[in-house]
């Protein structure tokens, strides 16, 4: 059984990144809630269903998401990660490569962490 703590939160976060890079939508579903909302560095908003569809279509490609300066905060069954990352992603039209700052919210449900919200902002070079 997984415990609700900072270590399990970080493990869920890494599992999510690994699943994105591997285009593994089954693994992604384990750590991303169906109710997830993602706000990208361009201000666009997408859902988990949008992410899964884009991965299956081959238009969403995450080549790199190297996180650093990670801090965790736990508020009962809510976990928040604040971090920066060197990223390289593509939506099939535009490729983004650079640094982003992220706020990612996870919710403890059904014995594990699931990401329910993320917001990314571009950082200056």
pLDDT digits (tens, 9 = 90+) for 37-53: 999 888 889 999 999 99
Tell me what the pLDDT averaged over the chain comes to: 92
| Cα 46 from Cα 67, distance rounded (Å) | 21
Tell me how crowded residue 32 is: count the other CB atoms within 10 A of its CB.
26
Both tokens of 108, joined, read 């403890």
Confidence of residue 125 (pLDDT cuts 50, 70, 90): confident
DSSP character string of 28-52: HHHHEEEEEEEE-TTS-EEEHHHHH
Confidence of residue 111 (pLDDT cuts 50, 70, 90): very high
Quick check: pTM over 0.85? yes
Confidence of residue 13 (pLDDT cuts 50, 70, 90): very high
| Cα 19 from Cα 76, distance rounded (Å) | 26
């Amino acid at each position: 059984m997984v415990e609700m703590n900072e270590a399990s939160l970080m493990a869920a976060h890494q599992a999510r990144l690994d699943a994105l890079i591997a285009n593994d939508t089954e693994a992604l579903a384990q750590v991303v809630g169906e109710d997830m909302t993602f706000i990208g560095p361009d201000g666009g908003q997408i859902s988990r269903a949008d992410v899964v569809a884009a991965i299956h279509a081959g238009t969403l490609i995450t080549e790199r998401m190297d996180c650093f300066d990670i801090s965790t905060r736990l508020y009962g069954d809510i976990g928040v990660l604040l971090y920066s990352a060197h990223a390289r992603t593509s939506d099939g039209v535009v490729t983004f490569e650079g640094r982003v700052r992220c706020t990612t919210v996870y919710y403890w449900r059904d014995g594990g962490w699931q990401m329910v919200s993320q917001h990314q902002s571009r950082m200056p070079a």
